[in-house]
Structure 1
Amino acid sequence: MSNPQDRLHQPTLTTHGIQPENQETPISFLSTNAMSSELFFKRNHFSYPTLTYSNYWLPINGLVSTPKVFSLQEIVKLPSKTIKVALECAGNKRSLFEPKTFGDQWGKGAISQGFWTGVPLTTLLEATGMNANAKEILFEGYDKGKRTDLNNEYSYSRSLPLEKALDPDTIIAYEYNSQPIPFKHGYPLRLIVPNWYGMASVKWIKQISLISSEFKGPYQSVDYVYYPNKENDSGAFPVTTVNVNSTIQQPVDRDIMNTGTHVIKGIAWTGTGKISKVEVSTDQGETWFDAFHEPPNGSYGWSSWTFEWSVYEPGEYTLMSKATDSFGRTQPLEPFWNRKGYGYHAIDQVHVKIE
C-alpha cells in the first residue's frame, strides 16, 4: 500500500484550460515509463460528454455486409491485445514556435504513455464484413459542441484510411494499465492509433462507419492540418504520423547547478520505426556525443536515455538533445513552422547555470 505522505511529493498536471479541460503531464518529473492515469495529459475540444454506461452499445454501420451493434460485454470477451503506446498531442511544444502561433501554449508535457488493452478493429470488422467501395473508416465520439469559427455544433469525428485502420495494432481499447480506461480519457471505449498524433485516437466512441469518400469534418479538414503559409492555405497537408522527437527531462530549463558530474536524462520517440540514436550537446551544438538509450523493444513507447556530463567551469550552458530513428529521420535545428502550431520537432534545448 502506498504511503499517503508520498502523495504530497507527487508532481501534478499543468492546467491550460478548465472548460474544456486541457492539462499537460509534468514530463520533467516522471519516475516511471508507464504513468498513472492521474498524470496522463488531457486534451479536450468540448466539455465531457454525458454517457449511460449500463446501456452502452457500439454500432458499426455504413459500407458493411452486415451492420452490427456490439455491447461492451461482447467486446471485452473478444481476443484482445495489450500494447505500450505513447500518445502525443499534435500541439505538444507549441509554445516553442517562433513566431508564435495561436492555440493552447503547450510546453513539453502534452505526451504520455502506458499500456492499452483492447480489441483490434480488424476483429470487429470481420464480424460485419466490408464493402469493396469502402475507402475510409469514420469514428464519431460522444463529445460535441459549438465551433465559433463555423457557427455550428459538431461532434468530435475523424476518419482513418483503410491501411491504417486495418493495422492489427489499431485497437478499440477498454483498459489502461490493466484498469478500465478512466472516464476523462475515453471510457468506455477509445480508439488507439499507434504512431499517429493523439487527435486520431478518438475518445468515447459513439459509432464507427465505413464510408466511400474522404471525410471532410472540421477536425480533419480545418484543424489538424499543416498550413505552411501564414496568409493563405496553399501547400496545406494533413497531420498524421508523429515526427521524430526528444525531450530533456533533467535538468530543467534555467536550473542552477554546482560544478561536478550530472546525469542529463530524457525521452525520445518517433512515429516511424524505432529510435536508433540519441545525441547530446553541452556546448550549444558545437560537438555531439552519443547518449545511452533503451534499445527498441517492439512497442510504440518512447525510449528513455541518459548522458553523464562532467562540468568544472562555472558559467551558462545550453544543453541540447537530438534523436534519430531507424528510417533516418533526425530532429532539425529549426522546426517546420506552420500556422496552427502542430508537430514541433526541433532539437530540444535547456539552459543551465553552473556555479
Structure 2
Amino acid sequence: MELSNKPYLTTRSINPENQETPIKFLKTETIPTTYFFRRNHFQYPTILNDNFFLPITGQVKMPIVFQYSQIVQMETTAIKCFLECAGNKRSKFNPPVFGEQWEEGAISQGEWKGISLSCLLEITGIAADAREVVFVGYDYGKQEDIEHHIPFARSLPLEKAIHPDTIIAYEYNGRPLTYKHGFPFRLIVPGWYGMASVKWLKKIILIDDTFKGPFQTDDYVYYPKLSDPYPVTMVNVNSLIQKPLDYEIIDEGVTLIEGIAWSGESEVTNVDISFNGQQWVDAILIGETLDKTNRWTKWKFHWNAPKGEHTIYCRASDSKGRKQPLEPMWNKKGYGYNAITKIRVKVK
C-alpha cells in the first residue's frame, strides 16, 4: 500500500469542528480549500433555499432582498488576503488561558471573489443616522451564560463596512465557496482578525447604535491585566518559521531558514533573524515588491549552522511602524499573540 506524503489538518475540536492548517508544510502563496483552517463556534448550519437570498435592512433608504443569481452577475471584486483567527498561537500564552489551544496554523491565505458591500449599499442607500453594519450568520447555538440559542453575529463600523475591499464573497481560489467555509455567502474583512469575516451570511442590518451581541461585547474583546477592555479588530504584526521545525536535528553547515510574516491593514517591511535575541540581521523578503497589504510575505535566510543547540528568533516589522514585541500582551481570552517567534534546533 502506498503511503501518502501529504500533510493533514490538525484537529483542535470535533464538535464544533476546529482544525488547523498545516502551515509549516505548505509553501504556496495560496492555501487550497482542503487545507484552509476551520473555526466554528457552533455546528454547521443546514443549507436551504433561504440561504441563497441576502436581505439588507435597517437604516437604509430602500430595504432589498438580493438573490444569489443577482449578486454573482454584478461587477466582481477579487482580493488576495490572509485570514487569521484571533486565537492563533493561543497555546503559547503563559500563564495559559482557556479556549481552543491553537498553535500556529489558524491562518490561511487565498484569493476571494465577490462583490464589494459598498456596491450593494449604493443600491439600498444608507440612511443619514446609520453607524454600524451588523452581519448575522446562519450558524447558531448556545453560548455560555445564555439560555437560548443565538446566531453568530458581528458588526463593523460603517467606515470599515463601506471600504471597497470589504466584500461579500462567493468564490475562493476560483471556485465556489465550500460548505465548510461559508457557502453560499461570507463576509471578507481584510486586515481584521477572522471573527469579523462572518460565514453563511443570513442578513445584513444597518443600525443607528452600537451593536451589543455577545460575540462583540464579551468574546473578541481584549481583557489585559493592566488596562481597560477594548475590542479585537486589526491583525497584529506577526511571523512564523516554517523551516527548520521546532526541535529539529539538522546537519552542520549552510542551512535554509524560511517562513512567512504578516500584518493587518499594512505590509511587512522587514524580517530580522537572531541567534541570541540581541543581535539581529536582515532576512531576505521574497516575491513581489508592490503593495502586499493584508497579504503575507515569504522570507528566507541562509545560516552557516555550527554544531550545538541553538535558538532561532524571528521578528517582523510593518509599514505602520509596528514590530513584534519580546513578550505578548497577556489577556484572559488569549487573543492577538504576536511575540517574537522562536524555535530550538540541534546541529550535528
Provide the TM-score with structure 2 as the length reference. 0.97
Paired with 1:331 and 1:321, the residues of 2 have a C-alpha distance of: 9
Equivalent residue, structure 2, for 1:334? 327
Q: CA deviation at 1:152?
A: 2.7
**CA–CA separation in structure 2 for the residues paired with 1:94 and 1:277:** 24
User: What is the match of residue 281 of structure 2?
Assistant: 289
Secondary structure (helix, strand or coil) at the match of 1:77 reads: coil
Alignment partner for residue 309 of structure 1, among 303, 307, 328?
303
Counterpart-to-counterpart distance in 2, 1:55 and 1:29: 35
Query: Which of the residues 103, 107, 130 maps onto 1:134?
Result: 130
CA distance in structure 1 between the partners assigned to 2:290 and 2:319 by the alignment: 10
Alpha-carbon distance, 1:314 to partner: 1.6
Work out which of the residue numbers 307, 315, 322 in structure 2 matches 1:322: 315
- Are 1:21 and 2:17 matched, yes or no? yes
Work out the CA distance in 2 between the residues paired with 1:171 and 1:111: 19
In percent, how many aligned pairs have the same letter?
53
Looking at structure 2, the residues matched to 90 and 298 of structure 1 have their Cα atoms a distance apart, in angstroms, of 21
Distance 1:75 1:321 in 2: 43
Alpha-carbon separation, structure 2, partners of 1:163 and 1:129: 15
C-alpha distance in structure 1 between counterparts of 2:144 and 2:191, whole Å: 31
| Matched residue SS, 1:95 | helix
Distance change in 2, residues 1:34/1:53 (3 Å): farther
**Distance in 2, Cα, partners of 1:102 & 1:62:** 36
Describe the SS at the equivalent of 1:28: helix
Cα distance change on mapping 1:314 and 1:55 into 2, 3 Å: closer
Instruction: Give the aligned partner of residue 276 of structure 1.
Output: 269
- Name the residue aligned to 1:224: 220
| RMSD after superposition | 1.5
Q: Report how far residue 173 of structure 1 moved.
A: 0.2
Q: Secondary structure at the match of 2:72?
A: helix
Q: Distance in 2 between matches of 1:50 and 1:213?
A: 31
Once residues 344 and 221 of structure 2 are traced to their aligned partners in structure 1, the CA distance between those partners, rounded to angstroms, is 32
Aligned twin of 1:259? 252
Does the Cα contact within 8 Å between 2:190 and 2:265 map onto a contact in 1? no
Q: 1:141 is aligned with what amino acid?
A: G
What is the rounded CA distance, in whole Å, between the counterparts of 2:322 and 2:188 in structure 1? Answer: 24
* Aligned equivalents of 1:298, 1:306: Cα separation in 2: 17
State the Cα deviation string for residues 29-70 of structure 1 (Å, max 9, x = none).
003110100000000000000011486210000011110000
Any conservation in 1 of the 2:185–2:200 contact (CA below 8 Å)?
yes
What residue number does 1:163 align with?
159
Amino acid of the residue matched to residue 253 of structure 1? D
Paired residue for 1:350? 343
Mark the CA change 1:296 to 1:107 in structure 2 (over 3 Å): closer, same or farther: farther
2: CA distance, partners of 1:104 / 1:223: 13
* Partners of 1:92 and 1:342 within 8 A in 2: yes
Q: Deviations over 1:49-108 (max 9, x none)?
A: 001148621000001111000000000000011111100000000000111111010000
**Structure 1 residue runs without a partner (length 5+):** none
Question: 1:68 maps to which residue?
Answer: 64
Question: Contact (CA 8 Å) 2:51, 2:202: kept in 1 or not?
Answer: no
What is the alpha-carbon distance in structure 2 between the residues aligned to residue 175 and residue 55 of structure 1?
15
Distance 2:292 2:191 in 1: 13
* In structure 1, C-alpha distance between the alignment counterparts of 2:25 and 2:311, rounded to whole Å: 20
| Matching residue of 2:113 | 117
Deviation at 1:148, TM superposition (A): 2.8
Q: Structure 2: any 5+ residue segments left out of the alignment?
A: none
Tell which deviates more after alignment, 102-111 or 145-154.
145-154
Once the two structures are superposed, the pairs formed by residues 60-99 of structure 1 within 5 Å of their partners are 60-99=56-95
Give, in whole Å, the separation in 1 of the partners of 2:188 and 2:220: 17
What amino acid is the match of 2:249?
Answer: I
The answer to whether 1:237 aligns with 2:230 is yes
TM-superposition CA deviations, 1:124-156 (whole Å, max 9, x none):
001100100100000000000011322331100
Secondary structure at 1:256 match in 2: strand
- Alignment equivalent of 2:241, drawn from 234, 237, 248: 248
Letter in 1 for 2:333: K
Report which stretch shifted further, 339-348 or 144-153: 144-153
Instruction: Find the counterpart in structure 2 of residue 144 from structure 1.
Output: 140
The structure-2 alpha-carbon separation of the partners of 1:296 and 1:349, relative to structure 1 and needing over 3 Å to count, comes to: farther
Query: 97-106 or 144-153, which moves further after superposition?
Result: 144-153
- Pairwise CA distance, 1:284: 2.5
| Pair 1:202 & 2:195 matched | no
Cα separation, partners in 2 of 1:54 and 1:163, compared to 1, 3 Å:
closer
Give the C-alpha shift of residue 196 in structure 1.
0.2
